[in-house]
A = this chain, B = another copy of it.
Amino acid sequence: MNAKPAHASDQPTRAQDMERPRPLTTVDVVIFTVLDGELKVLLVQRPQTEGEPFPGRWALPGGYVDVARDTNLLACARRKLKEKTGIASPYLEQLGSWGSRDRDPRGWSATHVYFALVPGADLKPMKGGNAADVRWAPVRTTSGQPGMAFDHGEILEAAVARLLSKVEYTSLPAYLLPEPFTLPQLQRMYEVILDRPVDKSGFRTRTLAADFLEEVGQVEGDANRLALAYKMRDRDRVVVFPRTFSPRG
C-alpha cells in the first residue's frame, strides 16, 4: 500500500501548515459532588437559539478554547470551572479527549475533557441569575441514559467509570468534603460513591496507615460524641493505596 513516503503528510511545509483546515477545539469539565448523600454531576442546558446544535439538550459545562485568554488547556478548564461553581482550587485532572468528524454538526471538532471533584458544602447557591439552565443531576439515573448533547453521554460514562475505579484505591473522596472533616464522614463519601457499605475498622486502619491526613483538633461529629477532625496533608498529592477496598468475593 501507499506509494508516497510515510512522512510526507506528517511534516508538511510551513505554507501548508497555516492553510490546513483546523478542527474546532473545546474544553469540557465533568464536575462531581456529593449532595444530599448522593453523587451528582453538573449539567448545563444548551440554548434554544436558532441554529445552535442540540437545542435544549443537557450538556457538560465547557466551551471553546480562547486563544487570547487561555495560556493552556488546564487554565482553560480552571476558568470554566470557576465560572460555573465559583470554586478556585478543586481537584482537577485530565480525563481524556474526544474528537471526530461528526460529534459536532458544525464540523470536525475535538474536546479536551477534565474531571473535577468539589465539596458539596462549598457550592454557591447555584451561581448568578440563570439557575434554570444549570442543574446538579444525580449520576446514577443520568449516566448511561440517552439524550445528552454531542457525545457527552459517552464522556460522562467514561468519567463515572474513572471515578468508581479510582475511588477503590485512592484518596480521591477527600476532595468531596470541606475541611476539616471526620473519618466517619470520609467513610460515607466512599460508601456513597461505591454504593456499598465499607467496614469501619478496616477503613480507619487503611486510611490512617496511608498517612495523608493530619489531625486538626476535634469537631462535632454526626452524633453527640465529638470526633477527631482531619485535613489533607497535601492537597496536590493524591494518595494511592497499595490494595483495593473490595470485599471478599
Contacts and interface: CB of A to CB of B under 8 A. Distances in A.
Contacts of A243: 243-244
Interface in A70-93: 70-73, 80, 83-84
A24 interface: yes
Interface string A1-34: 1100111011111100110111111000000000
Interface in A83-136: 83-84, 94, 96-102, 106-108, 110, 112, 127-130, 133
Interface residues of A, number: 63
Contacts of A1: 69
A179 interface: no
Given A97-B94, A98-B73, A65 B23 contact: yes
A61 interface: yes
A106 B13 CA distance: 12
A9 B63 contact: yes
A20 B83 contact: no
A178 interface: no
B101 A62 contact: no
Contact of A106 (B18, B23, B72, B100): B18
Interface string A56-70: 000001111111111
A145 interface: no
A67 B23 contact: yes
A241 to B, nearest CB: 10
Nearest to A73: B99
Interface stretch (A35-43, A47-55, A227-235): A47-55
Given A73-B100, A94-B96, A100-B71, A10 B108 contact: no
A242 interface: yes
A239 to B, nearest CB: 14
B130 A7 contact: yes
A150 B44 CA distance: 36
A151 B23 CA distance: 21
Contacts of A110: 25, 65, 73, 110, 112
Contacts of A130: 5, 7
Interface of A: 1-2, 5-7, 9-14, 17-18, 20-25, 44, 46-47, 49, 51-52, 61-73, 80, 83-84, 94, 96-102, 106-108, 110, 112, 127-130, 133, 242-244, 246
